[in-house]
Amino acid sequence: MIGRLSRWILPLVALLAVIGVGRSYIGQTWLGPGPLVQETTVVVPHGDTRTVGAALQQASVIDGVFAFRVAERLTQSDGALHAGEFAFPAHASLRDVLGILRHGRQVEHHLTIPEGLTAQQIATLIGQAPVMTGTVTAPEEGAILPNTYDYLYGAPRQSLLHHAEAALDTTLAPLWTSRAAGLPLDSPRDAITLASIVERETAKPEERAMVASVYLNRLRAGMKLQADPTVIYGASKGSGALNRPLTHADLLVPDPYNTYLNPGLPPGPIAAPGIASIEAVLHPADTDALYFVADGSGGHVFSHDYGNQVKNVAKLRKHPARRD
């Protein structure tokens, strides 16, 4: 009897040992730390588990394709794997890796479009954005809202541009509706046009409403705007920048954007204004100022009549830091 039992006990012990080793191996493979030394971003391709596993193994996210494929098959009820760009933490386990591929968020990239850029500059900026696809043409001037926009790996550049255009429409509508009464502006586009001039005229946030007030007062009085940024826009063929100082001769060149020669607003915006400049135009400072001159430190000195403007210009020309 004892002999018969011994014949069964030894194989049973061996089987239990194998089972124990197997469980340990499975637990180590499933839950144990992976080979990844530091957090890594991987572009996971479309394809079957062999293709995906090969990409992960090449990036040192997993040890081997076979274990990855078996684990995916055993847990396929948890959901499908997704392609895209994912960030995997250091020593991510196989369970972690599959969880990220099934439920993780893709890596977000960010593109900031600063205030005051021209359409040409914006198109160049989007065209240079990394990991996007396709090309983009320059939008209509002043048609996008400067902001920081998120996008995923492989996103079309044109779709980001459309997003920025839609953002302006959404933002501008309530601002235009709540504008101050009596503004000499006929449409939201007029507001964007003047806001683009304000955006390019001053870099000081506290001056925007005052600069806007000067231009609005000049429009009401039938005076020419005489805005240097519009002349620069025309002289630079829409690039928004000259590689030389603006000269008196530039002010005499016939051009639709030369507000020294042409009354009223220019034909359209000269850049993409930010929300602050738009709000400054739609809610300007309460002032009757008609003139301003650069003070040499990035700001301006304002005056209500031409006589004081002449005095300010003469005084500031003696300022050693003054820049025309």
pLDDT band (50, 70, 90) for residue 3: low
Q: What is the pLDDT of residues 218-240, one digit of tens each?
A: 999 999 999 999 999 999 999 88
- Residues 64 and 129: beta-carbon distance below 8 Å: no
Residue count (the chain): 324
pLDDT in tens, 140-198: 999 999 999 999 999 999 999 999 999 999 999 999 999 999 999 999 999 999 999 99
**Residue 253's Cα: distance from chain center in Å?**
36
CB 187 within 8 A of CB 217: no
Q: In the chain, where are the structural domains located?
A: 31-72+80-106, 108-168, 181-317
Give yes or no for a contact between 139 and 161, defined as CB atoms under 8 angstroms apart: yes
The percentage of the chain sitting over the pLDDT mark of 90, rounded to a whole number, equals 77
How does DSSP classify residue 187? Answer: S
pLDDT (tens digit per residue) in 235-259: 999 988 888 999 999 999 999 999 9
The pTM assigned to this predicted structure is: 0.84
Query: What is the residue-averaged pLDDT of the chain?
Result: 90
31-72+80-106 CATH fold: Dna Ligase; domain 1 (3.30.1490)
152 bridge partner residues: 108
